[in-house]
A and B are shown apart, each in its own frame.
Chain A
Amino acid sequence: MTHAIELDDVSKRYRLGEHHGSGTDLRETISKLGRRLRGTPPEPVRELWSLRDVSFSVEEGTAFGIIGSNGAGKSTVLKIVNTVTTPTAGTCRTRGRIGSLLEVGTGFHPELTGLENTYLNGAILGMTRRQVTSRLDEIIEFAGLERFMDTPVKRYSSGMYLRLGFSIAAHMESDILLVDEVLAVGDADFQRRCLGKMNEVERSGRTVLFVSHNLDAIARLCATSLWLDNGRVRRIGPSEQVIDDYMGSSAPHSSGVTFEPDETKSAQVVAVSLLDAEGTKSLTLTTRADAWIAVDVVVNEAVPALDVSCLVATRTGTALIGELLSDQGPSDIGSPGRYRVACRLPAVLVPGEYVISVWLGTAYEEIELHDDVLSFFVEGDDMGRKRRLIKLSTDWTTTRLDDHLSLGGSGS
């Protein structure tokens, strides 16, 4: 197989601060001179290595994923591949025409109509007028904007804007397609079509370089992935393995909170932590597996019917889960000692950030309330159902009701 993209020890340095480049402007020159006269050493240049010795290659006709936390250098890789910017050291080589789905709609002019913007945007992306004309019907149909092509895009909704931008970019002829987080936007139906389109692109023998936080989408689309960590290559390999490693690392092992023991209290919560399905502490869960909220309780003097409650709320404060230990029968933690109380958190949460609160008390008395004591993330695919708060794998049944009616009908 031949390669479509090759990066060889690519590094990229950005200078921080307001002024960039060689330091030849008047202000810097004066301040340098002043320092020399006073004999103080020159101010060190603050710089940031966005990429450090990154090497990888992508085979022609395959989809390649890049994952990593914010600021890991993912977008810089795309910019270098796309020749928007140059590496500070190393070589990037690409073969074939590059199309990009970075920041859809870049270059749209609000005063121009959808049609005018289609031609302009097509030209910016490297299409000739004839190429745009020959695909115009497809572009408009995919965007679903048949009735709005003569309307200035300043009157478009953000969704229409996005659909047109994606549609133009997706219909350009390119050998390499760069995709940066476009799937984070748009409604469910449109996201599905975008993913379908990218699949189609890959199947047609073109190369796809895909940057996303949506790990499920990466796993589905890309056979091989690269994990960038602080500008360095942490791992390259089959997507499933790379994603597993990445997920494992993003959860710090010290996750959880502890409280100073206070013997004046009759009973006390001393630690709260979140355990994933394997029983390891983690603050990042998947949408697929159950987890446990573990509450460590110290009872100093006997408290009859001591009860624990775990609450899970969304980041915005909507309470989703509130369970009591006593819901499943009389509690058995009333006598002095140290206990671990664990509450199963079924895999019902959709991707997002959540906060845990813990309550300790009896039916008559609140001993402790730890509001928002721990926050955690659920990662995964929201399946495009953006508005739901929980997912339940409920049962469905189907029963055919019209059997007796169809007897005398079409007979099919």
Chain B
Amino acid sequence: MSPSNGTARDHDLPSHDEWVVNTAPTGRWQRLHLRQVWTNRELIYFFALRDLRVRYKQAFLGVAWAGIQPLIGAVTFTILFNRLGTVEISGPSYFAFAMVGFATWTYLSASLTAGAGSLLANSSLITKVALPRIVPPTAALLPALLDLGVALVLATGVAVAAGGGLGPLGVLVCLPAGLFVLILAVSGPAYFLSAVVVKYRDAMALVSFGLLFLLFVSPIAYPPEFVPSEWQTLLYLNPIAGALGLLRFALVDTDLPPLTSLLLSGGVATTGFVIGLLHFRRSEREFADVI
């Protein structure tokens, strides 16, 4: 086998006869090395579990928060847009529609914030242990999935009660595809920002500003049809729009966006993921010196 030159050791990697070589970083672009995520899955799981455990230790309401938050959000949206304003959607229940939107945005917001700050939050490990650097930002994407899951189940229940239907195409294809696009869309910026924050702390301010911007330009409280047809391409350049379209079609019985729009969203999410991870790979070997 060729010697592995580069990143902190994979935990399963060094067999006894294999040299691990540590030399100066070349500054060149590195490969994505996605396999590292898989080989360190147990460690990623432990990191995510740690964050979940810590969040629910000494919390009175505990996991109930995962359901309460999207309910409150959906109630707010319903009063603002469906009662005071008149936002029309294609599905049976605006409440369920808003809940999916709110839960998705909550996931995006929580994961991106946690991901961007993940290396900084684990700086003692970064400077002292050969922890694979990819672990903290990857693990940061997981805990909020629990809240997302709870909210999506609640929203589905509301939609079904209001007369919505669940189809195999939706549940078996669009639901996983929607979650995949969503996680992909968050992970690219999370990798990128986590590496930037190591060097420049003020990048965290950028995160909250970006999230606010995304809240307005994504069809979270309003349906995509709300946007004039000539702007639709622009709307789906935002991968969150595509992810929402898939999730809502699958769970709360709204119309499926056109395939081209979905492909556009998926393509943007993938591009963002590759760029974010490439930047991460190029800078990760200097984290311990810079953080």
Contacts of A14 in B (CB 8 A): 289
Contacts of B18 in A (CB 8 A): 95
Is B9 close to A, CB under 8 A? yes
Q: B129 is contacted by which of A84, A91, A129 (Cβ under 8 Å)?
A: A84
Q: How large is the interface on B (under 10, 10 to 19, 20 to 34, 35 or more residues)?
A: 35 or more
Q: A124 is contacted by which of B43, B57, B289 (Cβ under 8 Å)?
A: B43
Chain A, 304-343, CB within 8 A of any chain B CB: none
B289 near A120 with CB under 8 A, answer: no
B22 near A92 with CB under 8 A, answer: yes
**Nearest chain A CB to B118's CB is how many angstroms away?**
14
Chain A, 58-93, CB within 8 A of any chain B CB: 79-93
Is A175 close to B, CB under 8 A? yes
Q: Which of A108-116, A186-194, A400-408 is near enough to bind chain B?
A: A108-116
Contacts of B230 in A (CB 8 A): none
Is B233 close to A, CB under 8 A? no
Contacts of B126 in A (CB 8 A): 84
Contacts of A126 in B (CB 8 A): 9, 11
B43 near A84 with CB under 8 A, answer: no
Is B83 close to A, CB under 8 A? no
Contacts of B128 in A (CB 8 A): 84, 100, 102-103, 106
Is B288 close to A, CB under 8 A? yes
A21 near B286 with CB under 8 A, answer: yes
Of chain A, the residue at the smallest CB distance from B21 is A93
Contacts of B24 in A (CB 8 A): 86-90
Of chain B, the residue at the smallest CB distance from A175 is B16
Q: A95 is contacted by which of B19, B57, B124 (Cβ under 8 Å)?
A: B19
Of chain A, the residue at the smallest CB distance from B20 is A94
Is A185 close to B, CB under 8 A? no
Contacts of B124 in A (CB 8 A): 103, 106-107
Is A250 close to B, CB under 8 A? no
The verdict on A84 contacting B8 (CB below 8 Å), with A21-B286, A92-B21 known, is yes
**Nearest chain A CB to B107's CB is how many angstroms away?**
23
Q: A128 is contacted by which of B20, B42, B54, B58 (Cβ under 8 Å)?
A: B42
The verdict on A79 contacting B46 (CB below 8 Å), with A92-B22, A95-B14, A116-B53 known, is no
| B-contact bits for A258-271, CB 8 A (1 contact / 0 none) | 00000000000000
Is B110 close to A, CB under 8 A? no
Sample of 14 further A-B pairs with CB below 8 A, known A20-B199, A107-B124, A124-B43: A21-B290, A79-B288, A82-B130, A84-B8, A86-B285, A91-B23, A92-B22, A95-B14, A95-B18, A98-B9, A109-B54, A111-B58, A116-B53, A119-B46
